[in-house]
Structure 1
Amino acid sequence: MEAGKRTIRDIFNRGRNLEIPFFQRAYVWDTEQWQRFLEDMIMVSTTKRPYFLGSVILKQQDTTSNKDSILTVIDGQQRLTTLNIFLKVLCLKNNSDNDFTETFKKQRDKSIILLHNHNDQESFNKVVNLESLTVFKDVSENDNILSAYNFFNENISTDDLENSIDFFNILDNILFVGIDLGYEEDEQQIFDTINSLGVRLTTAELLKNYFFKRNELDNYIKYWKQIFEKDDDTKIYWDREITTGRLRRTFIDLFFYSYLQIKIQEPELKVNTEDKIEFSKVENLFESYKRFIRDYKLDKIIILNELKEYAHLFKENFDFDIVNNELNSDNGIERINAIIFGLDTSTLIPYSLFILKNVTDENQRNELFAFIESYVMRRMVVKATTKNYNQLFTDRLISNKILSKEQFVEYLEGRNDKVNYLPNDTELKQGFENSILINKQTAGIVYLIESKIRNRNKQATQLLGISKYSLEHLMPKKWENKWNSVSTKEAKDFRNFKLKTLGNLAIITQSLNASIRDSNWPTKKRGSGNKEGLKHYSGGIETLAPYLELNEWNETEIEKRAEFLLGKAKEIWTAE
């Protein structure tokens, strides 16, 4: 890597091409940026002082010796494109188009140095090859290249030409922070390092330009555009961001990660353990793809065909909006979605995708999904560790081809695993009686029970999505002022413990007003004045409504409700 100060002439070396990745997103600058750019160019020209125009990162491509050098524009697309358009207009207005040619076109054949992406190539070439000024009419609202040309053509005035703007003043005083990368260097790492400059490049963008070259437009349309960029709804789906652990990740990145975890488990590829560990790191996903395909000598077209098939399955089955919509009581991928997106358990995605691809029998598939729900929720109730979930759900279950409930049970029993164990009914009982969980987990446990028993009882009130409910302590944490007192410190400690357990926690449709939340039991149930209570916000909630008929709520009733929830959980989350 070489870094340092660069002039326009340094960047636009006339013996080489600068190539914006062909499948990069389009040029996006608009009026606000163009106006500022114009003002900055006037300032540079009049003051003749050095002006840094930001960073430009170029990466050497692997080219044969008889071809001109080609550098990929990793960062700087917007600035370099705007500079070309602005100076083209300036030269045409000054009747000095030869100055533009001698700077921004190659010396040998006068061809364009800056090779644009597929979105903007036609418009950009049209602008920089103009021989005289024109006005482009009926410009598409998405064509920012022609719009930029029209803006500069309209806004560079005669007064500017006479007094303010000089082509060579700009050429001599514009500077860049330049970073030149060798062919083998990792551009993703550079992006992470200079992230403070606002540079961002997604794994999907890197992979798109890794898989497809400028002469592979048909393959791009077949294997990428039709899958990930077909229309606005498709783009919105794949660009959706969710939080996974400490990271914000798009659906398309989750998909590429999941496919890779499935692929590296194929026994015939014989991926070694060290590489599996490396390829499971989210932060290095792009480099993992490149090295995996290179080192294990994989055919890109075969990979693209598989990606296409898996991507269809992913889009058809993984739906974040389940957190906002009523959850079906039937076992299957919908309930797994609620656990993944409602309870932040994205580690289930690779294995779930593997099941969807390889289990064609719907009953077998849904039975397995039901067992996964039982496994995850039982462990959640007893506060079992999730630290090994990534290894379990992205490695062992896939590599061992666990594709039925019976195989999953046999796998767990065969390992006698104290880390990945399935809690039995005794342990589940202790969990409902004693576990103190974070609010999201508690709400999820109660919600998933509610979704099963409500449908069984044919409740008329619609169940909302998991995200629509608030968690409420029936006996409030601040009980001492308005609830019956207890006589001993031991009794007080016991109450303070019990009110944090599952038997005292319920889901309601809206958080209570603070004054009602801490009121005594009768007031908390009915509300006071214009402030509604539990009864108003618990319509049809089977896990709560019956208990609002009680005249008193205490530690005994908390334990009884815990026993009720336990009974339902044992029916729903079986542990054969």
Structure 2
Amino acid sequence: MEAGKRTIREIFNRGRNLEIPFFQRSYVWDEPQWKRFLEDMVMVSENRSPYFLGSVILKQQETSSDRDAVLTVIDGQQRLTTLNIFLKVLCLMNGDDSDFTETFKKQRDKKIILLHNHNDIESFNKVVYLTELSNFTNISENDHILQAYQYFKKSIEEEELLEKLEFYDILDNILFVGIDLNLGEDEQQIFDTINSLGVRLTTAELLKNYFFKRDEITKYNEYWKDIFEKDDDTYLYWDREVVTGRIRRTVIDLFFYSYLQIKIQEDGLNVKTQDKIDFSRVENLFESYKRFIKDYGLNKDAILKEIREYALLFINNFDSEIVKEELPSTDGIERINAIIFGLDNSTLLPYVLYVLKNVANENQRNELFGFLESYLLRRLVVKATPKNYNQLFSDRLINNQILSKEEFMEIIAQSDNKINFFPNNEQLKVGFDNSIIVNSQAAGVLYMIESKIRDNTRHSTGLRGMKMYSLEHLMPKKWINKWSPVETKEEKDFRNFKLLTLGNLAIITQSLNASIRDSNWATKKDGQGTKEGLRHFSGGIETLSPFLAIEEWNELEIQKRANYLYEKAVKIWQEA
């Protein structure tokens, strides 16, 4: 890595090309940036003193011996593009286009040095290959290249700036902070450097640049653009962020992680155990792809074809917004979506995607998904650890090609690893009686039961999405002043424990006012004055409504409701 001051001539060395990579999106500068840039250029011309125009990061590409050197523009696209457009306009207005050619075009063939990617290449080349001033009409609102040309041309003319702008004064005094990266340098270090400068490169952007060359537009359109960048809705889907553990990750990153976990289990590749461990880490996903493809001799085009197939399955089946929508009661991919995105089980994604790809029979898929729900929800209620799920769903289920309910049941039953046990009814009963679960998970358990037992024909409002409900403690944590007293410390401790269990928790359509939340049972049910209570916000919720007729809510009633929830759960999540 070499860093230091760079002049325009040093950046635009006429014996090489600067290439905007695939991962860079369109040129996006607009009038506020152009106005500031033009003011700065006037100042540089008038003062004739050095002016820093920001940083430029260039990385050496591998090229054949008979081809000129090519450097990738990692950071600086907006500034370098603007400089080309502005100075092109200035040279044409001065009648000295040769000045532009001798600076921004290669010496040997007089072709432009800065090579734009598919987003802007047509408009950029229209500008830089002009031989005289032109007016562009019918410019798209998204075409900032041609808009910039029109802006500089119009502004210089209307503000009579031509006499104040001197091409060589600008050329001699503009400086950059240049960082040059060699071909063999560690990629991760490079991208860490970029991120520290405020440039965010996602795994998808890096993979796009890795898979496609500049002239492979047809391949790019078929295997990438039509899948990941087709329109605004497609962008929105893939760029949406999902919480996984304590980390927010984009849906597209979750997809690329899932595909890799499936691929490394493929028969015949014989991926080493240590490599599987390395490739299963969410960090450095781009590096994992590069090393996996290189070390195991995989064909990039074949990988792209598979990625396209899996991505279509993914976008047609996985929806993180399911938590805002009514959930059907029938087993299927919708309920699995709710478990993945509502209960933070993203480790399921590779296996579920694998099932979608390899099980054509919908009934067989749904039966397996129903069992998967039973397995995961039972384990959640009994507080079984999810730490081994990655190993289970990728290494064991995908690796052993488990594609049916019966095969799943068998592999769990044969497991000598008790961490992956399927909780029986007795364990489930203890869970409903005694487990203290994180609020979001407790709400999810209640919602999954509600979505199975609710009869919408009896209610004027339908079931909402999982995240559209609030969790309420029927007996509040602050019960001491307004609820019946207890005599001993043991009774107090027992009450404080039981009010945290599932029997005392309910989902309602809106959080109660704080004064109602901590009131006595009668007020909490019916509200007071303009402040509504549980009856108003229960919305016909089957897991709560029957209990609002109870005169007094106490530890005994909490246990009765736990028994009720358990009886529903046993029927919904059947024992293995």
TM-score by length of 1: 0.97
**Pairing 1:302-451 to 2, within 5 Å after superposition:** 302-451=302-451
- Residue 48 in 1 paired to residue 38 in 2? no
The code of the aligned residue for 1:505 comes to: L
Tell me what 1:526 maps to.
Answer: 526
Rounded to whole Å, the distance in 2 between the matches of 1:419 and 1:67 is: 58
Deviation at 1:535, TM superposition (A): 0.0
Partner of 1:252, secondary structure, is helix
Tell me what 2:492 maps to.
Answer: 492
Partner of 1:419, secondary structure, is helix
**Pairing 1:273-284 to 2, within 5 Å after superposition:** 273-284=273-284
Percent of aligned positions that are identical: 71
Distance 1:3 1:246, change over 3 A: farther
Rounded to whole Å, the distance in 2 between the matches of 1:51 and 1:371 is: 66
Tell me what 1:212 maps to.
Answer: 212
Tell me what 2:161 maps to.
Answer: 160
The code of the aligned residue for 1:344 comes to: D
Rounded to whole Å, the distance in 2 between the matches of 1:549 and 1:47 is: 84
Partner of 1:71, secondary structure, is strand
Partner of 1:14, secondary structure, is coil
Rounded to whole Å, the distance in 1 between the matches of 2:262 and 2:394 is: 7
Distance 1:51 1:385, change over 3 A: farther
Tell me what 1:454 maps to.
Answer: 454
Deviation at 1:22, TM superposition (A): 4.5
Per-residue CA deviations over 1:12-63 (Å, capped at 9, x if unaligned) read: 1000001112464211111121112122222333333333222212121111
For the 8 Å contact 1:186–1:287, the answer to whether it is kept is no
For the 8 Å contact 1:22–1:116, the answer to whether it is kept is no
Rounded to whole Å, the distance in 2 between the matches of 1:499 and 1:246 is: 27
The code of the aligned residue for 1:314 comes to: F
Tell me what 2:183 maps to.
Answer: 183
Rounded to whole Å, the distance in 1 between the matches of 2:406 and 2:376 is: 16
**Pairing 1:59-208 to 2, within 5 Å after superposition:** 59-157=59-157, 159-163=160-164, 165-208=165-208
For the 8 Å contact 1:324–1:468, the answer to whether it is kept is yes
Partner of 1:467, secondary structure, is helix
Deviation at 1:354, TM superposition (A): 0.4
Partner of 2:271, secondary structure, is coil
Per-residue CA deviations over 1:332-360 (Å, capped at 9, x if unaligned) read: 11101001111111111110000111112
Runs of 5+ consecutive residues of structure 1 not aligned to the other structure: none
For the 8 Å contact 2:84–2:128, the answer to whether it is kept is yes
Larger displacement relative to structure 2 (552-561 or 123-132): 123-132
Rounded to whole Å, the distance in 1 between the matches of 2:107 and 2:65 is: 18
The code of the aligned residue for 2:263 comes to: K
Per-residue CA deviations over 1:298-348 (Å, capped at 9, x if unaligned) read: 112211221111111111110112111110010111101001111111111
Per-residue CA deviations over 1:197-231 (Å, capped at 9, x if unaligned) read: 21011211211121121222211121112222222
Tell me what 1:285 maps to.
Answer: 285
Deviation at 1:188, TM superposition (A): 4.9
Deviation at 1:538, TM superposition (A): 0.3
Larger displacement relative to structure 2 (461-470 or 190-199): 190-199
The code of the aligned residue for 1:162 comes to: E
For the 8 Å contact 1:58–1:180, the answer to whether it is kept is yes
Rounded to whole Å, the distance in 1 between the matches of 2:108 and 2:526 is: 86
Partner of 2:112, secondary structure, is coil
Partner of 1:170, secondary structure, is helix
Per-residue CA deviations over 1:63-100 (Å, capped at 9, x if unaligned) read: 11111111111221111101111111122222222221
Partner of 1:74, secondary structure, is strand
Partner of 1:486, secondary structure, is coil
Deviation at 1:160, TM superposition (A): 2.6
The code of the aligned residue for 1:362 comes to: E
Rounded to whole Å, the distance in 2 between the matches of 1:52 and 1:564 is: 71
Rounded to whole Å, the distance in 1 between the matches of 2:8 and 2:201 is: 24
Deviation at 1:246, TM superposition (A): 2.9
For the 8 Å contact 2:195–2:201, the answer to whether it is kept is no
Larger displacement relative to structure 2 (195-204 or 165-174): 165-174
Rounded to whole Å, the distance in 2 between the matches of 1:558 and 1:504 is: 5
For the 8 Å contact 2:75–2:194, the answer to whether it is kept is no
For the 8 Å contact 1:18–1:113, the answer to whether it is kept is yes
Rounded to whole Å, the distance in 2 between the matches of 1:533 and 1:87 is: 69
Tell me what 2:296 maps to.
Answer: 296
Tell me what 2:265 maps to.
Answer: 265
TM-score by length of 2: 0.97
Rounded to whole Å, the distance in 2 between the matches of 1:354 and 1:468 is: 30
Deviation at 1:458, TM superposition (A): 5.9
For the 8 Å contact 1:61–1:71, the answer to whether it is kept is yes
Partner of 1:535, secondary structure, is helix
Rounded to whole Å, the distance in 2 between the matches of 1:192 and 1:392 is: 32
Rounded to whole Å, the distance in 2 between the matches of 1:192 and 1:119 is: 26
For the 8 Å contact 1:188–1:201, the answer to whether it is kept is no
Deviation at 1:266, TM superposition (A): 0.6
Larger displacement relative to structure 2 (299-308 or 532-541): 299-308
The code of the aligned residue for 2:495 comes to: R
The code of the aligned residue for 1:100 comes to: F
Rounded to whole Å, the distance in 1 between the matches of 2:448 and 2:189 is: 41
Larger displacement relative to structure 2 (185-194 or 515-524): 185-194
Larger displacement relative to structure 2 (563-572 or 89-98): 89-98
Rounded to whole Å, the distance in 2 between the matches of 1:564 and 1:317 is: 33
Rounded to whole Å, the distance in 2 between the matches of 1:302 and 1:429 is: 50
Per-residue CA deviations over 1:224-278 (Å, capped at 9, x if unaligned) read: 1222222222222222221222332222221111111100101200110111122
User: What is the aligned residue count?
Assistant: 575
Deviation at 1:159, TM superposition (A): 4.0
Distance 1:136 1:115, change over 3 A: same
Rounded to whole Å, the distance in 1 between the matches of 2:274 and 2:90 is: 57
Partner of 1:528, secondary structure, is coil
